[in-house]
Amino acid sequence: MPALAIRQDLPAEELRRLARREPDRRAATRLLAIANALDGFSRAEAARLVGMERQALRDAVIRYNAEGPSGLHDRPRAGRPEALTPGRQAALKAWVLRGPNPERDGVSAWRLVDTCTHAEEGYGARYSGWGMSRLLRRLGLSRQTARPRHAEGRAAERAAVKKWAWTDVGRSAARRSAATRWSSASPD
């Protein structure tokens, strides 16, 4: 069976130049394999030099012949459809941004578990914690945690932490006076 002919409108040097500038690594590999084949290497050798199988090179040649260098990019895959429509995703995002009512809901911020439960009860869409995290990320939301605060901390310590005034609040009186003596002493 004769070898599949490769279109000759671009020379091998031009294909290599395009491969060097190509940000998509897989498309660049396909360009290099076709350039090797145009330089006279056997199909098996041209594919082996760039780390692909001979059948993958054949598929790339068919796509190159039909569409040119732009045909060597991966095509988008269909994947699983979203469980929530774009309108329901917007409603979920608005619900998350409104936040919980601490008296009614018992939490001060929504957790992934709460968001998954809301999506299932409100829209009939079931998400795992990981899937909901990815959905919220795609919606432009990020995970934030509240800053912890000790309930029994002294007022001065809370004020220092709140203002980011890292002073000597926690030092003992003896250490404070020693620190003042050293800082007030004048050099000889």
Q: pTM higher than 0.75, yes or no?
A: no
pLDDT at position 9, please?
Answer: 92
Domains of the chain: which residue ranges?
Answer: 12-72, 86-138
List CB contacts of 107: < 8 A, sequence separation 6 or more.
100, 114
32, with CB counted inside 10 A (0-12, 13-18, 19+), is buried
d(CA 47, CA 87): 47
pLDDT at position 167, please?
Answer: 46
109, with CB counted inside 10 A (0-12, 13-18, 19+), is middle
95-111 residue pLDDT tens: 999 999 888 888 888 89
Regions of the chain with pLDDT less than 50? 1, 165-169, 183-184
Q: ∠ CA(150), CA(154), CA(159), 5° rounding?
A: 85
